[in-house]
A and B are shown apart, each in its own frame.
Chain A
């Protein structure tokens, strides 16, 4: 992208608009960031249903909730036992990641995840397919109605906060897409090894 004088004037105007009240150093920093910013990057931000942000195919869910007494400890023991390997989550195949953070002396939990699609699309499927995993992860949360409760969607939404800022490196790749690309690359590399005639065993 070539930068014309107009662009620069435009950037300076935007900086004044957004940070007019800030120290000069901060304004200069923003100006430098904006010079490298591609406004045409194709991750159109949208909504992920009721709450949360969507970027391309990928959505974010951030929830903060109070924990039952002893809940953080129980969850820590579970996390240690499975060592970050949630087989059920692997099967779901829409979850890019999940993060559980305890804070305020283990009285609260922050749950954050990146996933494909809209947040409540598959929640009924979780209730019949992986109810134990869902209840295991969330029954330490104060007021958790159980994954089979008809009000569970409202419960989750009531604890959700929409992120104000969020960056996604590959907004157009779902978990399923990524797994396919991995498989294709493995097969392609094997094929190229054979074609090149230099297979090191």
Chain B
């Protein structure tokens, strides 16, 4: 960095952005899901604009704001709409057209940009994803079963007797021991710190990222707000964000078989499992526990994310191609000029299905998987970037065509490279462990905008 660049960087980062309007931002944007967590995603269709507006009006008082969510001791409700939902509310054409093109088109229509082909292609998705029917997603997050049931009853009361609205589906999630994901890993450990946010900041989150990257209406990393829908002075986007929702089926049996075939003894299998993700199943990062698991470290939020790659540029501890390092390269030296702070998502993913079983070797027919949920002021763009560059490609880390070992769609004869001395080890025959079953691009409005949508 030249002296001039350093001075510019200092000036850029010293200027604090405007204070966040916490009472207008949905709690989910700034607060982690509870741990442990219970919840449900409810999917709805507006049959009439009046029905849709009535439902939003009823739900609005129950949607938690970031100002009311300083701790996660109560259940909360979050809502997000698809562009089809906004059209069903009969907004004006100018307003509808002012939303970004990928969001207007919807996730299924963007399959080419997302590389959702083959087994992940929209024509094989579950209903109602990709059909244009999903208008509203209501998510209930709760720290325990009782408050979950209570919040569900509240949500149901709002649409049970309502004309002009159809319940398309309801999907429970969570309730996993230790909040593990379908493959048995503690997940959602690392999330970006948002400048001006009030949620606790954990060591290792890195410098707070400009709020405008995640919330519409504030300056982003380039110093200016990102494009927002609606007239500039009276934006419908203000304090809102976009959501990427992707439902993945996890092939746990194939994952277990892969570890057995390529790992070696039980310890070596666990090491391979850690090399694929970058963390041991306990959540302990390889960067801090390179030889063996350290469950106490994995469970300690003060320590389990507090690392950089400065001393592991060769990837001898954390492979360049592992899931965690791909999704957040931190200070890794990348082969392509990249501003890693521009490609972050706030993750609120949720796991469903039976708890991880290490002895499952044949598909037992049970539904296992996770809803990947990513939030940002350009979540669709970031997801498309990730699918193209960081998930289904290896060029940015000088690994040619290699793909993400967990969520990548692997072609025949795919490889996973583990840097070692004197020469790297290449594991041949890695398969796809996650299949996309559906997804949507959604808009999560601020609370004022939500009430405006209810009245329009």
Contact = CB atoms under 8 A, between A and B. Distances in A.
A125 B221 CA distance: 10
Interface string B393-417: 1011010100000000000000000
A94 interface: yes
A59 interface: no
B338 A122 contact: yes
A121 B388 contact: yes
B336 A92 contact: yes
Interface string A117-137: 110011011111110000000
A148 interface: yes
Interface stretch (B222-230, B307-315, B425-433): B222-230
Interface string A178-198: 001000000000000000000
B222 A125 contact: no
A106 B222 CA distance: 32
Contact of B336 (A93, A127, A180): A93
A94 B342 contact: no
Nearest to A130: B337
B398 A125 contact: no
Contact of A92 (B223, B337, B389, B400): B337
Contact of A122 (B113, B223, B336, B400): B336
A174 to B, nearest CB: 5
Chain B interface mostly helix, strand, loop or mixed?
A: loop
A137 to B, nearest CB: 15
Given A117-B388, A118-B388, A129-B337, A176 B221 contact: no
Given A121-B388, A176-B395, A180-B398, A148 B222 contact: yes
A116 interface: yes
A102 B396 CA distance: 33
A93 B223 contact: no
Contacts, number: 60
Contacts of B336: 92-94, 122, 176
A117 B389 contact: yes
Interface string B374-389: 0000000100010011
B228 to A, nearest CB: 9
Contacts of A39: none
A128 B221 CA distance: 7
A177 interface: yes
Contacts of A94: 336-337
Contact of B223 (A116, A117, A148, A180): A148
A125 B338 contact: yes
Contacts of A176: 335-336, 395-396, 398
Contacts of B388: 117-118, 121
Contact of A93 (B227, B335, B381): B335
B339 interface: yes
Residue from the set B223, B226, B339 with the largest chain A CB neighbour count within 10 Å: B339
A184 to B, nearest CB: 11
A128 B224 contact: no
A130 B271 CA distance: 39
A123 to B, nearest CB: 10
A199 B286 CA distance: 43
A23 interface: no
B395 A125 contact: no
A77 interface: no
Interface string A21-64: 00000000000000000000000000001000000010000000
A129 B342 CA distance: 11
A5 interface: no
Contact of B222 (A118, A127, A174, A180): A127
Contact of A129 (B223, B339, B400): B339
A124 B338 CA distance: 9
A149 B225 CA distance: 10
Contacts of A122: 336-338
Interface in B324-355: 335-339, 341-342
Most buried by A among B221, B337, B338, B400: B337
Contacts of A150: 224, 226-227
Contacts of B381: 124
B227 to A, nearest CB: 4
Contacts of A177: 395, 400
A80 interface: no
A118 B336 CA distance: 13
Contacts of A116: 395
B258 to A, nearest CB: 27
A93 B223 CA distance: 25
Contacts of B113: 49, 118
A128 B222 contact: yes
Contacts of B223: 148
Interface in B201-254: 221-224, 226-227
What 5 A-B pairs come out closest when comparing CB atoms? A150-B227, A176-B335, A92-B337, A128-B339, A125-B339
19 contacts: A57-B395, A92-B336, A92-B337, A93-B335, A117-B395, A118-B113, A121-B388, A122-B337, A122-B338, A124-B222, A124-B381, A128-B221, A128-B222, A128-B341, A129-B338, A148-B222, A150-B226, A176-B395, A177-B400
Given A117-B395, A176-B395, 10 more contacts: A92-B336, A93-B335, A93-B336, A117-B393, A124-B342, A125-B338, A125-B339, A128-B339, A148-B224, A151-B227
